[in-house]
Amino acid sequence: MCASTLPENNWSALSRSRSAFVCLLLVGLSSKSELFAQSSDVPWLVEVTKAPANPPREKLGRLDPLLVDASGQAITTREGWERQRTKIREEWRKFLGPMPEPRPGVKLELLKTESLDSVDRQLVRYEGEPGLFVEGYLLRPTSAKKSGKQRAGIVALHQTTNASIDEVAGVSGPDSMQIGLKLAKRGLVVFCPRCFLWQDVKSLNEAVTKHRERHPSTLGMAKMLYDAVRGVDVLESLPDVDKQRIGTVGHSLGAKEALYLAAFDDRVKASVASEGGTGFRSTNWDAPWYLGPAIRDENFSLNHHQLLAFIAPRPFLILGGESGSGAADGERSWPLIEAALPVWRLYGEPARVGLLNHRQGHSVSPESFEKIAQWLEAYLR
Q: 265-283 pLDDT, tens per residue?
A: 999 999 999 999 999 999 9
Nearest to 262 by CA among 273, 253, 271, 254: 271
Report the distance separating Cα 129 and Cα 263, nearest Å: 21
What confidence score (pLDDT) does residue 20 get?
39
Over 80: is that where the pLDDT of 166 sits?
yes
What confidence score (pLDDT) does residue 274 get?
98
Over 50: is that where the pLDDT of 16 sits?
no
Over 90: is that where the pLDDT of 260 sits?
yes
What confidence score (pLDDT) does residue 147 get?
75
Report the distance separating Cα 152 and Cα 190, nearest Å: 9
Burial (Cβ within 10 Å: 0-12, 13-18, ≥19) of residue 171: middle
Comparing 155 with 7, the larger pLDDT belongs to: 155
Pick the CATH number of 45-379 from 3.40.50.1820, 3.20.20.60, 3.40.50.300, 1.25.40.10: 3.40.50.1820
Residue-averaged pLDDT of the chain: 90
What confidence score (pLDDT) does residue 10 get?
33
Half-sphere exposure of 265 (CA within 13 A, CB side): 29
pLDDT bucket at 4, cuts 50 / 70 / 90: very low
pLDDT bucket at 144, cuts 50 / 70 / 90: confident
What confidence score (pLDDT) does residue 5 get?
32
The three-class DSSP label of residue 232 is helix
Report the distance separating Cα 173 and Cα 115, nearest Å: 18
pLDDT bucket at 120, cuts 50 / 70 / 90: very high
Average pLDDT of the segment spanning 228-243: 98
pLDDT bucket at 327, cuts 50 / 70 / 90: very high
Burial (Cβ within 10 Å: 0-12, 13-18, ≥19) of residue 39: exposed
Average pLDDT of the segment spanning 167-181: 98
pLDDT bucket at 245, cuts 50 / 70 / 90: very high
What confidence score (pLDDT) does residue 36 get?
29
What confidence score (pLDDT) does residue 114 get?
97
Over 60: is that where the pLDDT of 319 sits?
yes
Q: What is the pLDDT of residues 29-53, one digit of tens each?
A: 333 333 324 449 999 999 999 999 9
What confidence score (pLDDT) does residue 296 get?
96
- Whole-number percent of the chain with pLDDT over 70: 90
Average pLDDT of the segment spanning 202-222: 97
ω into 141 cis (within 30 of 0): no
What confidence score (pLDDT) does residue 13 get?
36
What confidence score (pLDDT) does residue 27 get?
35
Over 70: is that where the pLDDT of 286 sits?
yes
What confidence score (pLDDT) does residue 6 get?
29
pLDDT bucket at 135, cuts 50 / 70 / 90: very high
